[in-house]
Amino acid sequence: MFPTPIKHRSPALQILYKMAVPLVLILWLLPMAAILLTSARGNADIISGNYWGWPSEIKLFENYGEVFNPERSPMLLYFRNSLIITIPSVVMAVFFSAMAGYALAIHRFRGRILLYALFIAGNFVPFQILMIPVRSMFANLDLLDTLWALVLFHTAFQIGFATFFLRNFIVDLPYALVESARMEGATEWGVFIRVILPLLRPALASLGVLLFTFVWNDFFWALTLVQSDAARPITFGLQALRGQWSISWNLIAAGSVVAALPSVIVFFVLQKQFIAGLSFGGVKE
Amino acid sequence: MKKETRNALKKWEFRLAPVYFLAPAFTLFSIFVLWPILRSFWISFHDWSGFGAMTWVGLSNYTKLFQDPKFAISIANNVRWLILSLMAPIAGLTLALFLNQEIRGIRLAKSLFFFPFVINLVVVGLIFSWFYNPDLGLLAALGEKMGIEPIPILANDQLATYGIILASLWPQTAYCMILFLTGLTSLDTQVIEAARIDGAAGWNMLFRVVIPQLSGAAFIAAVVTIIGALRSFDLIAIMTAGGPWGSTNVLAYMMYDESLFNFKMGYGASIAVILFLSMSLIIALFLYSVLRKEK
């Protein structure tokens, strides 16, 4: 193990280390703590400029109530839009990519390396090279400024990374299982549904969590494909509300917490899968 | 159904499997990723407002671009992003080494350190804008205690880009840290112990024994960080919208601005093409390293 395990060091150093970890952590998360604290501040603090001290009054429920009150702010609508965009695109991207990954990992056909390379490369291209054609395509289909545009685009774009991810996972599965299912008369679709998909479960969970945060946190495509409140996801909505709330930093803070929360929850609940997913594409080998 | 027909059908199903298994993914990916890339190249040779007909102008978008002072600013800023963002892998490795211990609660500490990566960049941008705010930010409050006049970082054309890059380092460092932590747990303990018996320790051990074993993690961390730096858009849009006086523009933001606000789609496409080509180098490097393992 490197560095040397702390329990082999002098007691003084051990105590120092145990104090240093939370201290560094507090500094590291200071921005987050400030946002959380400010989302509970009352207007008095905001006016008197008390941004960094302890709140003089706790207005947690009032602030979040204001943010979620549909008559006062469209935040609830934005939140709903984000869910409607994120969940179907993650489900579709994962399923289509599992299919594609199966073909790329199990079947040997000409051009499969090229296809695999295209999926990997596509995942890294700058969004700007896609922006103008994608926008005009949706404009021609009359889908600009709808939730459909974002669902379709995110599904398509995430397929690149997802196929790369799942194909690598399927390659490592024991091939004998596929062969024995074939011997028993299963069709390829049958092999995929009954043998591969169940074995993929941990990979699907990891991938699903990752894609959820990628899509939920998207800002660029929301900005370029959507204009009206009816189709705005929360990232873009928050940016828009910032103008309306102006210096009510307690509301902006509460809105930020709401916007960040779903991916944070998904991360903390499915931490193991999330980190396994992040490390899989990369450090494996 | 007769046995022969059933077998024949199954044979066909097997032969067609690659086609129908790939069809949905490949169709969507072609329509929304591959085709738009080619189309952007085509648009970049035209004058186009986004509506009506396109006029062929050859390479003139590119010649204009190379004389545009805003383009020079964007390129310079992209280089700043590229170089400074490489602090993230270094800081990430430092944090990973710091946290690679077994004390009570260390798992929770590791996840909390990773936390900034999960938050979306709109929120990160808002937090840092507020930090830097000369009237009500933490930085100004700290400065006041020490008797320093607050500097409006994001309104200063010399400092704004650095302020945004610093904000981007926060989540990026967290990401690199996780990659290195995973790398550290899979170190070859025998090699480490053997080196330790030979008297290696501290920096010597780190550079000669540990870092070479982390090369996989370091490669991914560097590639993802560089691509992230060249793609940087969200934080700029939220913190400065390219300002003050265009000083925080990068190619990604300039492209968006020229196309959607100045309605110069052809010009915008040519910026996108330049960005795409410069990123292709690093994408090719990554592809090479992945596909090499396939052989």
CA-based nearest residue to A101, from B55, B24, B61, B265: B24
Does B85 share its domain with B198?
Answer: yes
Does B142 share its domain with B252?
Answer: yes
Does B77 share its domain with B158?
Answer: yes
Q: What ipTM does this complex have?
A: 0.91
**Which chain A residue has its CA at the smallest distance from B259's CA?**
A132
Q: Specify the DSSP class assigned to residue B55.
A: E
State the Cα–Cα distance between residues A133 and A127, nearest whole angstrom.
11
Domain of B19 in residue numbering reads as 1-43
Mean pLDDT of chain A: 88
- Domains contained in chain B, number: 2
Count of Cβ atoms closer than 10 Å to residue B194 Cβ: 12
Does B142 share its domain with B227?
Answer: yes
pLDDT tens digits for range A120-140: 999 899 999 999 999 999 999
Answer yes or no: are the C-beta atoms of B81 and B230 closer than 8 Å.
yes
Confidence of residue A282 (pLDDT cuts 50, 70, 90): very low
CB contact under 8 A, B122 and A107: no
Element (H, E) at A273: helix A271-283
State the Cα–Cα distance between residues A266 and A248, nearest whole angstrom.
29
Give CA separation, B150 vs A248, B142, B187, in Å.
21, 9, 47
Answer yes or no: are the C-beta atoms of B113 and B173 closer than 8 Å.
no
Element (H, E) at B46: strand B46-47
Residue B157 Cα, gap to closest chain A Cα (Å): 23
Is B269 within the bounds of a domain? Answer: yes
The model's pTM is 0.92
Does B4 share its domain with B107?
Answer: no
Which CATH number describes the domain made up of A75-283? 1.10.3720.10
pLDDT at A284: 36
pLDDT at A285: 33
* A127, A249, A268 member nearest B130 (Cβ): A249
State the Cα–Cα distance between residues B266 and B137, nearest whole angstrom.
41
B103: left (phi over 0), alpha (psi -120 to 50) or beta: beta
pLDDT at A26: 92
Contacts B233 to A, Cβ<8 Å: 127-128, 219-220
pLDDT tens digits for range A258-275: 999 998 898 888 888 777
Does B5 share its domain with B91?
Answer: no
pLDDT at B273: 97
Does B22 share its domain with B137?
Answer: no
State the Cα–Cα distance between residues A269 and A278, nearest whole angstrom.
16
Does B29 share its domain with B102?
Answer: no
State the Cα–Cα distance between residues A168 and B258, nearest whole angstrom.
40
pLDDT tens digits for range B11-59: 888 888 899 999 999 999 999 999 999 999 999 999 998 888 899 999 9
CB proximity under 8 Å: A 28-67 to B: 28-32, 34-35, 49, 51-52
pLDDT tens digits for range B197-240: 887 777 888 888 888 889 888 998 999 899 999 999 999 999 99
Is B50 within the bounds of a domain? Answer: no
Positive or negative: CA dihedral A141, A144, A150, A151 = negative
Which CATH number covers residue B147?
Answer: 1.10.3720.10
Residue B62 Cα, gap to closest chain A Cα (Å): 15
State the Cα–Cα distance between residues A238 and B119, nearest whole angstrom.
13
Answer yes or no: are the C-beta atoms of A123 and B227 closer than 8 Å.
no
Q: Which of B29, B37, B168 to mutate to test the interface with A (most CBs of A within 10 A)?
A: B29
